[in-house]
Amino acid sequence: MIDPIFLLEAAINGILLGGILALLALGLNLIFGVIDIVWIVYVDLVMLCMYVLYFTNQVYGWPFWLAALAALAVGAGLGVAVHVLVISPILASPPINQLLATGGLLFFIQSFATFLWTTDHRSVRFSLPSFEVGGIFLPATRLIPFGISILAMLALYLFLTRTFMGTAMRAVAQDREAMALMGADPRRIYVMTSAVGGLMAGLAGTLLVFQYSVHPFFGGQFGPLTFMICVLGGLGNMVGAFVASFIMSEIISIAGVIWSTEMGYVIAFVVFIVMMFIRPGGILARSE
Amino acid sequence: MSLPGASGGAGSMLELRDVTAGYGAFTALWNVSLRVQAGEAVAVVGPNGAGKTTLMRAISGMIPIRAGELVFEGASVGGRPAHEIVARGIAHVPEGRRIFPALTVADNLRMGAFLPAARRRYAESLERVFGLFPVLAERRAQRAGSLSGGEQQMLAVGRALMSCPRLILLDEPSMGLAPVMVLRLFDLIQRVRAEGYTILVVEQNVRQVLKIVDRAYLLEVGRIRTEGAASALAQEDFVRKAYVGL
């Protein structure tokens, strides 16, 4: 039998991981909700932002805060670039073409990153303390990203509900044609949304380097998981994605302690498939 | 801005000349010509599938026109995208209301004033809308999707007024409403008109709509079949038999 303290530690780690997953999922979900396209490439943009941090901070010696700002700026820029160069020309195409186009971009980015930077794992080194509370270790490299992630999601919530542009984004997500009748140019709102989604990718990258090393296939580690969280929560449903992030992270974390991390992923994906049968519209879908 | 000698006299606000439009390979409107004078209320009536909604969508720029000319306040606006048409002063209340259900009533109205020019007059517009539809003021903090059908239609009209339009296109405002609500709504449309807005309304409820407009066009299978003063049209035999149900 496993010492309950390990289970408790796993549960806490699950919450800390869930915070980061939720940030990834909300970024992807925001873009899907407004533009109606799933950016399969989303976590690969996160990966590029992690490289920005690695090179500016570790190679060029920029202070971390400046490197983080650079990653955020690159993230927002990448978001706009993906929209303008790849999505915008195929907005009227069938959804499968749009999905394949962002999928193609994913392989392009992975290959190009491998070509530029090889498959080496690169890490940003931190010297941060760990706290021990009642026999449970809480490293600052997990607490800090979690805290920032929660604050960022709160900021996103306030942006979407309290600002004019955020409200307009939600309105487009509900009815883009009606929003055009209000005098809004949907193309402008799409670019704005892509920039915000890209900014969130930059932030997620910044937080992920605290715990993970970056390599060209980093997207494979978190991409499918992020996508599945969004589907589990109901694509486009922000609250659903938030809740689903913590469900998935707890499964992975607790199963990881009982068996192994690999088994944690196996169980998480089985839960996902089963949920697709039980609640295909997402965990929070209203039955209507 | 009307041309000297043009039929209908001065102040032709909207004019369609031989407009043809449709979706993909399907043509829903054939050589439709109509005009709306400033200050007028005009109805387009006709059976299901006559092309009434297509006509509204063509005017507001939601679908392109294939041929013909669309003139608003002296400027040719055919082929302009929807968001530019609104900026010129045409607000379209679409079929099925199309309010933003998850937004509050207040946020729906705020979105109605999306255009910079409309945003500057937001407070003034809001006061006018709340004056016309007091129920929207009462329910301003409520989710729009929780309103009744009639209230949602009022919100859709109120939201359109927020863009400070001069011409309002109403597409089937009575659709899905209880009979008593239909009467109230038509009454409210008359009050909107009394505020100085020009109205072009598409309706299946022919009998009611002919009571509140000055003139009407009868649209059948994509073509204007007849036109005339609302009172005269209501007396015409085929209109009465086919649509009024008398």
pLDDT tens digits, B206-217: 888 999 999 999
pLDDT surpassing 80 at residue B9: no
**Closest CB to B102 among A164, A174, A179:** A174
Beta bridge partners of A133: A136
User: So what's the pLDDT on residue A127?
Assistant: 85
Q: What is the pTM of this model?
A: 0.88
Say whether the ipTM exceeds 0.90: no
B228: closest CA among B243, B239, B215?
B215
**Residues, chain A, total?**
288
Contact B114 A179 (CB under 8 A): yes
pLDDT surpassing 50 at residue B60: yes
Q: Give the residue from chain A lying closest to B88, CA to CA.
A: A183
Question: Confidence class of residue B2 from pLDDT cuts 50, 70 and 90?
Answer: very low
| Test mutation, B111, B157, B159, chain A, max A CBs within 10 A | B111
The count of domains in chain B is 1
A53: closest CA among A172, A203, A240?
A203
pLDDT surpassing 90 at residue A64: yes
Q: How far apart are CA B79 and CA B157, in angstroms?
A: 25
Q: If you average pLDDT over residues B29-57, what whole number do you get? A: 93
User: So what's the pLDDT on residue B8?
Assistant: 44
pLDDT surpassing 90 at residue A3: no
Looking at residue A224, its amino acid is: P
Is B42:B233 a contact under the CB 8 Å cutoff? no
A57-90 burial, b if ≥16 CB within 10 A, otherwise e? bbeeebeeeebbebbbebbbebbbebbeebbeee
Contact A181 B94 (CB under 8 A): yes
Residues near A225 by beta carbon (within 8 Å), at least 6 away in sequence = A21, A248, A265, A268
Looking at residue A55, its amino acid is: F
* Sequence ranges of the domains in chain A: 4-112+140-219
Name the DSSP letter for residue A122.
Answer: B
pLDDT surpassing 90 at residue A281: no
* Helices A140-162 & A186-208 angle (0-180, nearest 10): 170
Question: Confidence class of residue B7 from pLDDT cuts 50, 70 and 90?
Answer: very low
User: So what's the pLDDT on residue A286?
Assistant: 58
Question: Taking the C-alpha atoms of B179, A178, A176 and B103 in order, what is their torsion angle to the nearest 10 degrees?
Answer: -70
Residue B192 in any domain: the answer is yes
Question: Confidence class of residue B242 from pLDDT cuts 50, 70 and 90?
Answer: low
Angle in degrees, CA A158, A164, A166, rounded to 5: 50
Is A252:A14 a contact under the CB 8 Å cutoff? yes
**Closest CB to B62 among A175, A177, A182:** A177
Contact A170 B60 (CB under 8 A): no
pLDDT tens digits, A81-94: 999 999 999 988 89
Residues of B with Cβ-Cβ distance to A175 under 8 angstroms? 98, 100
Could you list the beta-strand ranges (E) of chain B. 12-23, 26-37, 41-45, 65-72, 75-76, 90-93, 167-171, 198-203, 215-220, 223-229
Residues near A15 by beta carbon (within 8 Å), at least 6 away in sequence = A146, A246, A249, A250
- Domain with residue B118: its CATH number is 3.40.50.300
And the tokens for B207?
A: 């009998």
User: So what's the pLDDT on residue B48?
Assistant: 83
**Closest CB to A171 among B91, B94, B103:** B103
pLDDT surpassing 60 at residue A288: no
Q: Give the residue from chain A lying closest to B117, CA to CA.
A: A183
Contact A175 B114 (CB under 8 A): no
Contact A177 B94 (CB under 8 A): yes
And the tokens for A17?
A: 């991981």
pLDDT tens digits, A5-54: 889 999 999 999 999 999 999 999 999 999 999 999 999 999 999 999 99
The torsion angles phi and psi of A24, rounded to 5 degrees, stand at -60, -45
Residue B201 in any domain: the answer is yes
Structural domain that includes position B51:
40-61+83-244
Q: How far apart are CA A94 and CA A106, in angstroms?
A: 19
Q: If you average pLDDT over residues A156-177, what whole number do you get? A: 94
Name the DSSP letter for residue A119.
Answer: S
CA dihedral (B23, B27, B31, B36) positive or negative: negative
Residue B30 in any domain: the answer is no
Residue B134, SS3?
A: helix
Residue B114 in any domain: the answer is yes
Q: How far apart are CA B152 and CA B101, in angstroms?
A: 9
Beta bridge partners of B96: none
Question: Confidence class of residue A62 from pLDDT cuts 50, 70 and 90?
Answer: very high
Residue B227 in any domain: the answer is yes
Q: Write out residues 147-176 of B within 8 Å (CB-CB) of A.
A: 159-160, 163
Contact A181 B60 (CB under 8 A): yes
Q: How many CA atoms lie within 13 A of B148 on its CB side?
A: 8
